[in-house]
A and B are shown apart, each in its own frame.
Chain A
Amino acid sequence: MKHILLLLAFLPAAIFAQQFVTREGNVHFLSETPIEDIEATSSEASVILDLETGRVAVQVPILSFHFEKALMEEHFNENYMESGTYPKAKFTGTLRDFGALPESGAVEVMVDGSFEVHGVSVDRPFNGTLERKGDEVMLICRFDVRTEDHEIPIPAVVRDNIAEVIAVDIKASLVAR
């Protein structure tokens, strides 16, 4: 009995090890216009998901986005994202009405939270799916970002080349912390 109770005393740590993380999440975005498509990817998104509290947080270094052309990358950092001043895109949020994650199968989830890009935070919901695959939790999320919402100015001369709404994809496989 004494041993069982001792075990119980140490159990909390095990039970609450419900945090899943990665530092190599993939983020891709696409700006689509009739003139040109501009896309970039980063594989340096840090994601933490707490299945106990339902909280989730993501951070991506802006400089980790790579483009097809070096010049695009320079303009992205220098002229639009001002990554020297605002080095990261950040998100913190909470899963809406979230129960336990089933042992198999993808579940649709809603997350409410604050999304910060270019130093401007916007509170908004996101849709995504979570799926347990063995020891990993797969996170997939697609959403749109309005450049205007984050005060990213697009000068008139390039307005036809850069979409007002950028489509973002996140894919990350998280492992227990």
Chain B
Amino acid sequence: MKCRYPQVLLLCCALYTAVAGVAQDDMMDFFDEVDEQARPVTAVFKSQRLINVHTCETPGKGEMNFVIAHRFGRISDGAYALWGLDNASMRMAFEYGLSDRVMLSVGRSTFEKTFEGGVKVRALEQMEGGRPFGLTFYSVTMANGLRWADPERENYFSSRLSFAHQAILTRKFDDKLSVLLVPSLIHRNLVDVPGRAHDVATLGGGFRYKISNRTTVNAEYHYLLPRPIQDEWHNSLSLGIDIETGGHVFQLHVTNSRGMFERSFLTETPDRWQDGELYFGFNLNRVFQVGDRR
């Protein structure tokens, strides 16, 4: 065959070569086209609680987190009381992941023999390349379990109850720094002096900073918004570290709030840092997988 169109053939050859060459370079652009699936930001905090206050973290579906927490006596009690270690106040709790975003919890503190039942819902999650913050709600009912001070008079069960509702705003800035902002509303059915506020609001903030993959330093502060509560209640400030060892998270801290449930540490902290009225304590978290994850 005599080709009448040599220039066209030449063009073909050039195209073959060019396309083959382009194909080589073309390949990796496939990965640029991959739309990254939007993923929630995970591991914002190491534990369900930063120190006292709840974080956005909930146990995974079917996970049971068992918490044993202690607050010892005042460090200022000195060597005689082994800087408070002789005198421990205890709280234990079970926190169960109903789904990856809903937690149910029950707790019991030795302080005022208090029972708690709480629900935490991770309503909005911070997203990779998307929503810049997470929003979690926590509500808890607390019941004072002490015997009635005056059993002779008519006592109501509702007098034992108090409630706390929190909106927990969280943001993980990078691998190391996560911050939370927590407005809280606490309602007490019974106040000890008539005329004092049944409803108290606080505004809290805190952060964690990772100093290694398994260790973080934490701080939280809760400011009591001005309301007519007793003068002797103060703002709560706590500093601590988290140490994670596989299935456990150990949280060690120093705080001026000895109570470990919301009404107590948010609105009824009698001690102050500037007076050296501090408590050493820990939370120990142990996770068990009890239900199916799927």
Residues of A within 8 A of B (CB): 1-2, 5-6, 8-9, 11-13, 15-16, 18-19, 21, 23, 44, 46, 48, 50, 52-53, 55, 57, 59, 61, 63-64, 68-71, 73-75, 77-79, 82, 84-85, 92, 157-158, 161, 177
A-B contact count (CB 8 A): 106
Q: Is the CB of B23 within 8 A of A19?
A: yes
Q: Is the CB of A16 within 8 A of B19?
A: yes
Pick from A11, A15, A71, A177: contact of B30, CB under 8 Å: A177
Q: How large is the interface on B (under 10, 10 to 19, 20 to 34, 35 or more residues)?
A: 35 or more
With the chains together, A12 CA to B19 CA distance in Å?
7
Q: Is the CB of B213 within 8 A of A78?
A: yes
- Give the residues in chain A near B157, CB-CB below 8 Å: none
Pick from A63, A85, A177: contact of B42, CB under 8 Å: A63
Q: Is the CB of A84 within 8 A of B174?
A: yes
Instruction: Name the segment of B9-17, B82-90, B231-239 touching the other chain.
Output: B9-17
Q: List 8 A-B contacts (CB under 8 A).
A: A6-B8, A9-B15, A15-B16, A53-B20, A70-B59, A70-B97, A73-B42, A79-B244
- Give the residues in chain A near B23, CB-CB below 8 Å: 16, 18-19, 50, 52-53
Given contacts A48-B30, A55-B27, whether A74 and B43 have CB atoms under 8 Å apart is yes
Q: Is the CB of A85 within 8 A of B4?
A: no
Instruction: Name the segment of B33-41, B140-148, B194-202 touching the other chain.
Output: B33-41
Q: Is the CB of B43 within 8 A of A78?
A: yes
With the chains together, A149 CA to B42 CA distance in Å?
27
CB proximity of A62 to chain B, nearest CB, Å:
11
CB of B60 closer than 8 Å to a CB of A? yes
